[in-house]
Amino acid sequence: MEHVRAIVVRAAGVNCDVETQHALRLAGADAQRVHVNRLIEAPDQLNQHQILVFPGGFSYGDDVAAGKILANQIVHHLAEPIRRFLDEGKLILGICNGFQALVKAGILPGFADTPFSFDTQPVTITDNDSGKFEDRWVHLEVVGDRCVFLEPGRRIYLPVAHGEGKVVTRDAATLDRLRSEGHIALRYVDAEGRPGDFPINPNGSVDAIAGLTDATGRVLGLMPHPERYIHPTQHPHWTRLGAPRPDGTMFFTRAVEYVREHL
């Protein structure tokens, strides 16, 4: 498929939709921003698109819990359209607040035997251990080779900006499944790839989890913001490093390449 089309879902409080649209367009996709209410009214829009993105921000002010109201809209109004979207081999990306919504809607972690856990939630994302909003740059390690958005073995550098980014599991058995079945897509590490406490792990996520993928590898949710590092000059040390490769572009270019090759 040469012509790749993406939908970036916006709602009240979402504030990274324009940047995400820009990142997709730089990667070669025809990306449009669509309000979640318009998508609920006309879910058949998904039929003409191959990439669905839930961007960062504070949807509905993060009332109740971060991403929870948007997650409820997904569960009650978009569950079947999204299920069909994934069954057709298409891609979903959730960034920060979008990641929170995907987890709280039960789309992630997306175990093979329960790809949509709308009635149960084995994983959630909650308040940072620091008790405050964390706005900093972090090193990340790509885990495994399943997720189509990620280049295996790569170590990357991206910004985070969240108050509720701590990934926790319902129990130890769930964490074991995340590890053994390849659902951990990204971990927080230091510049040499070693795990560590705060600030290396900025929120206290269990097992330093920064991102999760589903059983197919076609759904990815992550707390860091790749759309905020798609130009070299966005790196905090770009004047000393010259023109570093912007790590955030990987997510969007690999998604577009996947669609072109497989759909």
Q: pLDDT tens digits, residue range 31-50?
A: 999 999 999 999 999 999 99
94, two tokens: 């959730």
C-alpha 223/C-alpha 91 separation (Å) is 18
Amino acid at 122: P
C-alpha 245/C-alpha 146 separation (Å) is 23
184-234 residue pLDDT tens: 999 999 999 999 999 999 999 999 999 999 999 999 999 999 999 999 999
Question: What pLDDT is attached to residue 178?
Answer: 98
CA 251 to chain centre: 10
Q: Is 19 a residue of the active site?
A: no
**Of the candidates 1, 6, 11, 3, the residue with the CA atom closest to the CA atom of residue 40:** 11
Half-sphere exposure of 194 toward its Cβ, with a 13 Å CA cutoff? 3
The residue annotated as part of the active site, out of 49, 96, 147, 162, is 96
**Of the candidates 109, 103, 114, 120, the residue with the CA atom closest to the CA atom of residue 176:** 109
Give domain limits for the chain: 5-262
Q: Which secondary structure element, helix H or strand E, spans residue 95, and what is its range?
A: strand 91-95
Quick check: 162 pLDDT over 80? yes
Quick check: 10 pLDDT over 90? yes
Q: Is 139 a residue of the active site?
A: no
Phi-psi region of 109 (alpha: psi -120 to 50; beta: other; left: phi over 0): alpha
The residue annotated as part of the active site, out of 139, 162, 225, 235, is 225
Question: What pLDDT is attached to residue 72?
Answer: 96
CATH 3.30.70.260, domain 5-262, yes or no: no
Q: Is 227 a residue of the active site?
A: yes
